[in-house]
Structure 1
Amino acid sequence: MKLPSPVQWIEAQRKRGHELCLMLDTFDHKPVLQTLLKDRTHDRYSSLYSQTPIAELAGIGPFLIMLDSGDTQPLTELLNSPERHWGWLVSIAAQDFPALVQHWRERILVGQRPDQGIYRFHDNRVLGRALSSMPPEARPAYLGPAHSVCYAQGEHWLSADNRAPGQHPLPEQPHWLQVPVPPEQRARIRETNAHRFLLAHHQVAYLQLAEHRDPFDWLRLQRGRAEGWGWHAPRQLEFLLVSSLSTPEFEIPMQWHPRVYEEPSEHFERVCQEAKLLQGKGIA
């Protein structure tokens, strides 16, 4: 439902006795996070990536925060800048905060090992696309304990209600993972995820790269190279990025480029083997 402003939704949820929570993408919003967490008890916020297989990314991942009456200033700052894609708002029953945390933790990873990826549910654009494409009966499994959500979509504010709030099992084929993502946005998501991964796991080498080249230009180049080679799996892009970071020029050796008539899977396996050999010799 289209809203004249998110304030209308906030007032309506509070009149119904619901607690309001903020789903915050903390990566570019650290000052807001620090303001909100100051003097807040630990049972009123949670880093969603903690206690999951990607706990090492908890510091740059989304936070779920129960809002208090004193949060007017930081909340107003966020509501006045929807173009920053900081996340979205959700209303729940007072006792359902732990259940909501667990609900989204169960939906963080998508796919099967070793090609699992991170589902960016905290991005308002991802949430909006999913809700606009699924039938109402699919919403409970997606929204879980949430009674309603409020999010920006382009220039408008929208809300979506959940007709059956509660704990729901993860479907075998979730509707929200079948939503087609525009190629340009898919590319931006992959670059952002790669940027966060390198900061979390290879910070020293990545910062050295930033002294010589624009990180996002470099990421864009490497992503385009991986796609051109048919390396579409997350682990393949990860290998290319990490291997490139370990060289003085931040580019993998020319002999690791594909050979004529070499299939993408053959190419990847060959390069992996060559990398292991170099590591064994102490070269890479």
Structure 2
Amino acid sequence: MTLPELITPFADYDFMRRALAGASMLTLGATPVGVFLMLRRMSLMADAMSHAVLPGVAAAYFFSGLSLGAMTLGGLTAGVLVAIATGWAARHSVLFEDTAMGTFQILSLTAGILLMTAHGRPVDVLQLLFGSILAIDRDTLTLIALVASATLVLLALGWRILVLECFDAPFLRRYSPRLSALAHYGFLVLVVLNLVAAFHAIGTLLAISVLILPAATARLWVNGLGKALVLAAGCGILGSYLGLVASFRWDLPAGPAIALALALPYLCSLFLAPHGFLRRRRPRKQHLEN
């Protein structure tokens, strides 16, 4: 692929520039959340919550059509309710948290698809599931920018507490149960916010890719939290750019193309990164000899 082919789509077409702006802003807000999700070992919970957004979005679509405000509010409400219900089921029954997440994930996905198909517009089902980032408008760009800005500000304000909960959650619960609960549930709200923003760009089924794939790629290359945040954001923006270029060049669906462009560096890093499969299998050098 030549240099003009990498630049021309964004120089000549407004919809490509809007798509790139939306994907970049989404990445700036979602990748830090993804790094903390990975550190807290909550990646599967985020996947379940991405499906939990679907019934709220579908219900809003059923009553209000493609209303940005209604679908955002519906998705946020459904995601928060499912997160609370998952925690309640895990705390007040014999079920473990992974089982509770799996059951609510299935229920949410089933309810969402039934609500959408009941509307009688199967084409819109694909749009909701896989997104339409090439058709993104200014209102959606504004929403994504607000979510990304709020995420970065809140992460900066709660940095110390979030880091402490990631690495020593029992100590934080003993020291201050209120701070521990605030950090836990506040972080879940941030996850839902970014999943809703990602839904507007690449759909509910692919929203999790922006949070998890760049974070996992960064973790295979670096150890420090700050370095991981910067590298994850860079991987996310570059992957979004290359995914949009591939979508334009070969007439591919933009959402899946972005997800694939984010997945390829991760797959390569599994083998080539310092913490990947091949590098970790090498015998360590002995510092001392007999």
TM bin, normalised by shorter chain, reads under 0.3
| Structure with the greater alpha carbon radius of gyration | 1
Counting strand residues as a fraction of each chain, which structure ranks higher? 1
Q: TM-score, normalised by structure 2?
A: 0.24
Q: Which has the higher contact order (CA 8 A, sep 6+)?
A: 2
Q: TM-score, normalised by structure 1?
A: 0.24
Counting helix residues as a fraction of each chain, which structure ranks higher? 2
